Structure 1
Amino acid sequence: MGIHDYEFVKAAQLISHADALLITAGAGMGVDSGLPDFRGAQGFWQRYPALKASGIVFEEMASPRHFRVRPELGWGFYGHRLNLYRKTSPHEGFHILHQIASRLRHKAFVFTSNVDGHFQKADFPDDRVVECHGSIHYLQCLDSCSPDIWPAERFEPAVDDEQCLLMNEPPACPNCGGLARPNILMFEDLDWIEARSMQQRMRLNTWLWDTERPIVIELGAGTALPVVRQFGERQKAPLIRINPFEPELPNSIKHVSLPYRALDALSTLKMALEDIHFFGGRL
């Protein structure tokens, strides 16, 4: 299993004593599916070269301001992402997490800052996922004329990828007819409608209340936006942190650090679980 054999064995043993799996995931979870994590301006500009000439970085582009001043650019960026997330398949690591959860009494719940909807696409139940920053697959009114949130499934963005511009009509609010935007928490965003995410959090709190021995597997969650890391660390549960760039742990002997990408770590962790016959019978 490599140079970190002991850590994988310890992680497998911790999982074998759990009755529930809390999956906490950041952008690094999607890298093995071919999705960008926007680490640094250069990585962002490689994906969106049209923005490099203007010096626009991710933190500036991910703002509701562009929908007001230049909606074809705002929707060019988010329309490209919507198309990308729709056509990309979740990697095998999602299936491994399914397999682990299937052996536990309370199965799994997901807490993620990712807006790509890939946990649902990988057949995690929608009522077992918290998207703390919202989802690109849902829309809201740009002016928040009502608290309504609706699916984006009827919107098919036609994007000029070289210019990062939307070429067809953007989605409209069904209530006021004004411009619609993704139901995503952006930077400097005072108009995000968080009702859907709050309902998800309430379901997670109920699930956590029923668990007795949960374990947290954190995947690709960094410190630049530490919401996911902090949420997992607040749980009174063993933490398995999978992160090749920021693997440091809180000071506790019950936690495990696996400094690998998500798919590599989960594949090796599965082998460690097989060695202790974890999948041989329901816990």
Structure 2
Amino acid sequence: MFLKRKMNDSTNNYSDKILKIKEKIGEADAVIIGAGAGLSTSAGFVYTGERFEKYFSDFRKKYGFSDMYSGGFYPYKTLEKHWGYWCRYIYINRYMDAPKPVYQNLHDLVKEKDYFVLTTNVDHCFQKAGFDKNRIFYTQGDYGLFQCSEPCHKETYDNEEAIKKMVLSQGFQIKDGELQKPENGEIKLTVPTGLIPYCPHCGKPMSMNLRSDQTFVEDDGWHQAAERYEKFIQDHKKQKIVFLELGVGYNTPGIIKYPFWQMTNTFEHAFYVCLNQSEAYAPEEIRRKSVCMNEDIGEVLKEL
């Protein structure tokens, strides 16, 4: 449908683009936010460097990996070691707030509009920033949910209490929601056997509700959110819609990016905005209906 050649500039001037986005959001009947990993990266949820060292330097020394993603795929030999890693990963990326107020600024931008959020992110940042949970579709899961690893049934389970028990068992302290190392005392890399989560139906180990293979559970909440999103599209497709794409890459473009392009092209009154540092593109076919900015998302949202 679209040409391979892409455009990354619909207008040339930074301030002109900001004004255009403000104008389009201001006059929109609806705003549909499509959010990928780049949005959380802008908010400070990075998985390498100082943040990795702060919470996982002991794992780096023992296992040799140097970023959180690699640690998540490491073949730990026991469940005690597996959950020793994952409980920290989940706590800091799901139950702690992002270091920068990017999501809060986004909420301030659209809270008075009729909006819906479609996201591949699994860190719950939208709800923590005040977005209505009934206006969010988490397509790829949620760090805050367990599921059966088999899976023997299509249910998910809130894991906050279990994860907190695990990190506390390692020797961490939780102060004002933040995970902190004690001044004295050793931090363990494992969790006690008694804290390992098992399926209440079949007894198999629990896993994370993350879409990484064919075992991903789409529970009732997932399907209800999918239906609300589709209804939102149908209810507004003849109105002025702004498709606001934030930090979406090309790992899974068929979920957000390509549908946003297609709907912008098809819907008469639709407009497409893409904010993505160094990766903001749109097809030539929708150039006149687009603004793309290769800038830090957080900085642009401050301007807006």
Q: Secondary structure at 1:235's aligned position in 2?
A: helix
**Cα distance in 1 for residues equivalent to 2:44 and 2:91:** 13
Equivalent in 198, 206, 227 of residue 180 of structure 1: 206
**Cα distance in 2 for residues equivalent to 1:87 and 1:247:** 29
Residue 257 of structure 2 is matched in structure 1 by 229
Given the superposition, is the C-alpha separation of residues 66 and 204 from structure 1 closer, same or farther in structure 2, using an over 3 Å criterion?
Answer: farther
Listed one character per residue, the Cα deviations across residues 80-120 of structure 1 (whole Å, up to 9, x for unaligned) are 2221021224743323333332333xx21111111111111
> Does residue 1:247 correspond to 2:271, yes or no?
no
**Structure 1: tracts of 5 or more residues without a match:** 270-283
- State the superposition RMSD in angstroms: 3.1
**Cα distance in 2 for residues equivalent to 1:98 and 1:173:** 36
Given the superposition, is the C-alpha separation of residues 93 and 224 from structure 1 closer, same or farther in structure 2, using an over 3 Å criterion?
Answer: same
Normalised by the length of structure 1, the TM-score is 0.78
Alignment of 1:1-283 (within 5 A): 4-36=14-46, 48=56, 50=59, 53-54=63-64, 62=72, 66=75, 70-84=78-92, 85-89=94-98, 91-104=100-113, 107-155=114-162, 156=164, 157-158=166-167, 165-168=189-192, 169-186=195-212, 189-195=213-219, 196-211=221-236, 212-226=239-253, 227-236=255-264, 237-251=270-284, 252-269=287-304
Listed one character per residue, the Cα deviations across residues 133-155 of structure 1 (whole Å, up to 9, x for unaligned) are 10011111112121111211221
Q: Match for 1:98: what amino acid?
A: H
**Cα distance in 2 for residues equivalent to 1:220 and 1:127:** 22
Given the superposition, is the C-alpha separation of residues 70 and 51 from structure 1 closer, same or farther in structure 2, using an over 3 Å criterion?
Answer: farther
Given the superposition, is the C-alpha separation of residues 82 and 201 from structure 1 closer, same or farther in structure 2, using an over 3 Å criterion?
Answer: same
CA contact (8 A) 1:28 1:261 kept: no
**Cα distance in 1 for residues equivalent to 2:72 and 2:188:** 13
Higher gyration radius (CA): 2
CA contact (8 A) 2:68 2:89 kept: no
**Cα distance in 2 for residues equivalent to 1:214 and 1:164:** 51
**Cα distance in 2 for residues equivalent to 1:82 and 1:93:** 20
**Cα distance in 2 for residues equivalent to 1:58 and 1:90:** 17
**Cα distance in 1 for residues equivalent to 2:81 and 2:258:** 33
Given the superposition, is the C-alpha separation of residues 62 and 48 from structure 1 closer, same or farther in structure 2, using an over 3 Å criterion?
Answer: same
Question: What is the aligned residue count?
Answer: 259
Deviation at 1:37, TM superposition (A): 5.4
Q: Secondary structure at 1:266's aligned position in 2?
A: helix
**Cα distance in 2 for residues equivalent to 1:90 and 1:209:** 36
Give the % identical residues.
24
